[in-house]
Amino acid sequence: MALITHKKNLFYAQLTRHLFFHNHLSSTELSELTGKSIPVTTQGLNELIKKGKVFESGFAESTGGRKPLLYSLTEGSLLIVSVAMDQLITKIALINEKNEIVGEIEKHNLKLADNPSSIAELIKILKNFVSRINKPDKVVGIGIGMPGFVDSLKGVNYSFLQTENGTLVEALENELHLPVFIENDSSLIALAELRWGAAYGRKNVMVINIGWGVGLGIISKGELFKGHDGFAGEFSHISLFDNQKLCSCGKYGCLETETSLVVIAQKAIKKMTEGELTVLKNLSENRIEEGARKILKAAKEGDKFSIEVISESAYHIGRGISILIHLLNPELVIISGIGSLAGKVWIAPVQIAINEHCIPKMAEHTEIKISKLGEEAALIGAAALVMEHFEEININLKKIEKVLIN
Amino acid sequence: MALITHKKNLFYAQLTRHLFFHNHLSSTELSELTGKSIPVTTQGLNELIKKGKVFESGFAESTGGRKPLLYSLTEGSLLIVSVAMDQLITKIALINEKNEIVGEIEKHNLKLADNPSSIAELIKILKNFVSRINKPDKVVGIGIGMPGFVDSLKGVNYSFLQTENGTLVEALENELHLPVFIENDSSLIALAELRWGAAYGRKNVMVINIGWGVGLGIISKGELFKGHDGFAGEFSHISLFDNQKLCSCGKYGCLETETSLVVIAQKAIKKMTEGELTVLKNLSENRIEEGARKILKAAKEGDKFSIEVISESAYHIGRGISILIHLLNPELVIISGIGSLAGKVWIAPVQIAINEHCIPKMAEHTEIKISKLGEEAALIGAAALVMEHFEEININLKKIEKVLIN
DNA sequence: CAAACTTTTTAAATTTTTTAAAAAGACTTT
DNA sequence: AAAGTCTTTTTAAAAAATTTAAAAAGTTTG
C-alpha cells in the first residue's frame, strides 16, 4: 500500500514537473510527455485538482477538432530558492510555479577563491533568506549555480566551497533542511536556454556563456550533456592560440587569453590610453566588471569603438565555435551570459570566423542566436535545475521532512 | 489481428537484436534490456524457440542463486552483408548470427572520387556477391560504411556516390531488393568498438579512426552520437596548427595536415632520403598505402625510426584529443582504424600531449586504449549497423519481399 | 447550412505488469 | 559434512495499465 502511494506520487511529480516547464498543457500533451496513456493521465490530473495543486486553466485553440482542456499549476502551490554565484557576488531569488521571480533579487558579497569560511557564509545567507519566506512549506528545494568543476551527481565542487568531510550538498542540506542541487554556472545557463530560452524544443545546441571567462553548456539529444565526471563543456582552456600569453590555468594559448569580458575591458583601456576615440569614460583596471558592463551597453547603443573591441573577441570565440561545429554538428549556437547584453554585435564576427574555419557543409544548418534571457538566465536555470529533479525530491523523502504531494 | 502479429514481431525482432549483440542472455537480462516483464519475455522466447530462431544454449554461472537458463540465436538463422568502402577499395563480407565472418573477405577496386559510374559499379559488385550466397533468404540486410558526409537517416552521402534523383539508399534497395543502411566509416568503427570492442558497456567514449585522414566517432550516453545533420565527429579539419600547410579542404592548419597515415608515410620517405637509418625498404610516394602499412608493422616490431615518425603524429593527435577531453569529458579514448595496427606506440605521445594541453582535473579519469578489433572493425561495424535497425527492418515490410519472422 | 472531417473525452476489453509463491542452486554455520 | 539460510530464477495469480472502440465537441468545406 505504501509502495502504491509512492509510485502514484512519482507520477504526480512528473505531471507537476511538465506543467512547470510548459505553463499549461492538455491531457493529450501530458500523456505524450509522460509516456502514460490518456486515461491514466486524466486520472492523475483529477487527483491533483482534488489536492488543489492543479486547476483547469481554459481551452486551447482548436487545431481542427474539439478544443483541448488545459491544465496549469495552482497559484502559490510551489516555490523555489534560486541562487546564482560568481567569484565575488551571490544572487538569490524566490521563484514561483510560473517561473516568475517573486519579490526582490538579493545580492551578497561572497568571495569564493581562498576563502575557508565560504560555506559558512553561504549557509548563513541562505538560512536568513529562507527564514523570511512567507510560505516556507511551499519551498520544494534550493538550486545553486556556481563556477568551477562541479559534479552535480555527487554534489561536489572541486574548485570552490570544499568541505572537510561529506559533500557540499550534504553540508547544505543538513543545515537548511531542504533538498539542494548544485551545478556549474554555464551548464545552468544552457538549461535555462533549453527550458525557457532560444534552445526551447531544440535537440542539439551549444550555449556559449560569455562572462569573466568563456563557458559552454552542451545540449545533446534534448538534454544537458555533462560527460563522464560532470565536467563537459570546458571551453575557456582549450588551446587555440600561438600567443605565448600565460593563462590563469598555467598553460599558454587558451581561448580565455584572447576572449572574455575581462580581456575586452583590458583591451579597451589600453586602446583608450593610446588615444582612440569613444563615448566611454572612467574605465579602470581596478573596476574591470563595471568597465565591461559599460562597454557592452555602449556597443548595444552603437559606439564604434566598443563594437570593434568586442568584435575582435567575438572572432576568436568564433574560432572556438568552429571547432564545436565540426565536432558536434549543432543546429544552433546561442551567445548567452552577461556578454549577450551587447546584443547582436557578436553575430557578424562569429559568423566570419565560422566561414573562414568551417567546412561549409558542416556549418550549413547551424544558426547563431543571441540570448534573450539576459542576466536572469543563471537564476532561471537554477530553478529549472530543482524542477528537473522534482521526481527525485519526491522519492528521497529522507531529504525533506514533509511529503510534498500528499 | 494483423496489428497484434505486427507488434509481436517487433518484440521478437527486439529480442533477436539483443541476442545478436550479446551472444547469449538469460530471460532476466532480456527483460531488463527490452523493458518488458519477465513473463512477457519468457513467452516471446518460447515463441522464437518454436519458430526455430532461438535455442536454449546452456546455463550461466550462478551469482549466488539458481543458475539462469541462457538463450542464443540458432545457427544459420541470420546473415548480414557487410561492406567497408574507402576511396579506392571496397571490401565485402558475409557475417552470421554470431558476428563471425563466413567465407572470404572480398576486395574490389572501386574509385569513389570523380567517378560517375561508382553507384553502378557498387550495385554490380553487390548483386554478384548476393547471388553467390548459399542461403539468400537468411540475409536480413546490407550495411555499408563509406567515407564522406553521410546522412544515414536520409540515406544520402553528400561527398560521394551521388544520385540524380532519389537517395543513394533508395537506389541500392531498388536494385538489390534488400534493406540497405549506410553510415560514415569512422562512425561505424565507433559502433564496432561500442558493441564488440573496447567501448563495450561504456557510456561516453571518443573513437579515433586513424587512416588516410583522422576520423572521430562519438559515443555519448551509450549510443552513437551523430549531431543535427549526421555529420558530427569531423576531426580531420579542425584548425589547430599555425603551419601554413594547405589542406585538401582548402583551409590552412587542419589537424590532417600534420597527422594521418599519409603524412606519416610521406615524412618517413623524406627522412629516409635525408639518410636516417631504418629497417624499412622500398617506400615510394606512388604507393603510400603500402608504405604506411610497412611503417605500422615495423613500429609494432620495435623499429626506432618508425616509432619516432608515428610518435610525432601521435603527439599532434593528442593535441586534438585534449580538446575532445575538455569539451566532452570522455571516460575513454580509443585509438582505432588501420593506424591501431602499430599497437601501443601511440599511447605515450598522446598521453604527453594530454598532460601538456589538458587541465589535470579534466583528464584525470580518461583512459587511452588501443583497439583490438584490427582491420575488420569497419566490416563488424557495418553488420552492427544493420542489426541496430533490426526492428525497423521488421516494420517496413515494404522494404523487403518477405516477412523476416513469421 | 448540413455533411464530412478532426480531435478530445469517455468507457469497455485486452494486455501487460506487478506481486507473491515456488523451485533450484550456492553459501554459511554448527 | 550436512542442514539451514540466503539468492536468484521461474511459474502462477492479482492488479494496473494500455489499447481499442465509441461518443462528444468543434471546424471546415461543398
B99 in Cβ contact with B196 (< 8 Å):
yes
For the residues of B86-118, what is the DSSP string, one character each? -SSEEEEEEEETTSPEEEEEEEEE---TT-TTH
CATH superfamily of B199-372: ATPase, nucleotide binding domain (3.30.420.40)
CATH topology of domain B2-73: Arc Repressor Mutant, subunit A (1.10.10)
- pLDDT at residue B392 in the model: 87
Task: Work out the angle at residue B301's Cα, subtended by the Cα atoms of residues B298 and B303, and round it to the nearest 5 degrees.
Answer: 55
Contacts of A331 in chain B (CB under 8 A): 228
CATH superfamily of A198-372: ATPase, nucleotide binding domain (3.30.420.40)
CA of B60 to C1' of D7 (A): 15
Does nucleic acid strand D have an atom less than 7 angstroms from the CB of B39?
yes
User: In chain B, which residues have pLDDT < 50?
Assistant: 1-4, 397-406
What number of other Cβ atoms are within 10 A of residue A250's Cβ?
A: 10
The span from the CA of A359 to the CA of B213, in Å, is 15
CATH superfamily of A79-188+379-399: ATPase, nucleotide binding domain (3.30.420.40)
Cβ B329–A229 below 8 Å, yes or no? yes
Q: What would the pLDDT profile of A355-406 be if each residue is shown by its tens digit?
A: 999 999 999 999 999 999 989 999 999 999 999 999 988 876 444 333 333 3
Is pLDDT of A71 > 50? yes
Same fold, A2-73 and A198-372: no
- pLDDT at residue A404 in the model: 36
Cβ B365–A324 below 8 Å, yes or no? no
- Of residues A228, A327, A328, nearest to B204 (C-beta): A228
Cβ B231–A329 below 8 Å, yes or no? yes
- Of residues B238, B249, B326, nearest to A234 (C-beta): B326
Q: What would the pLDDT profile of A220-278 be if each residue is shown by its tens digit?
A: 999 999 999 999 999 999 988 877 888 888 888 888 888 888 889 898 888 888 877 67
Does nucleic acid strand D have an atom less than 7 angstroms from the CB of A35?
yes
Phi, psi (deg, nearest 5) at residue B198: -70, -15
- pLDDT at residue A396 in the model: 60
**In the predicted model, what is the mean pLDDT of residues A175-183?**
96
CA of A229 to C1' of C27 (A): 37
pLDDT exceeding 90 applies to what percent of chain A?
71
The one-character DSSP state at B239 is B
The span from the CA of B245 to the CA of A192, in Å, is 42
If one compares A80 and A283, the residue with the highest pLDDT of the two is: A80
Q: How far, in whole angstroms, is CA A388 from its chain's centroid? A: 12
B113 in Cβ contact with B96 (< 8 Å):
no
- pLDDT at residue B405 in the model: 33
Q: Provide the residue ranges of all domains of chain A, joining segments of one domain with +.
A: 2-73, 79-188+379-399, 198-372
The span from the CA of A322 to the CA of B206, in Å, is 19
The contacts of residue B202 (CB under 8 Å, 6+ apart) are: B194, B219, B222, B331, B332
Q: Strands A101-109 and A69-73, how do they pair?
A: unpaired
- Residue given cell 531529504 in the structure block: A399
Nearest Cα neighbor of B150 from B141, B139, B158, B138 is B158
- Which nucleotides of strand D lie under 7 Å from a protein CB? 6-13, 16-20, 24-28
- The count of C-alpha atoms lying within 13 angstroms of the C-alpha of A11, restricted to the half-sphere facing its C-beta, is 21
pLDDT exceeding 70 applies to what percent of chain A?
95
Cβ A251–B357 below 8 Å, yes or no? yes
Residue whose CA is minimally distant from C24 C1': B66
Contacts of A357 in chain B (CB under 8 A): 239, 251
Q: What would the pLDDT profile of B50-103 be if each residue is shown by its tens digit?
A: 888 999 888 887 776 778 888 999 999 999 999 999 999 999 999 999 999 999
**Closest Cα of chain A to B185: distance in Å?**
16
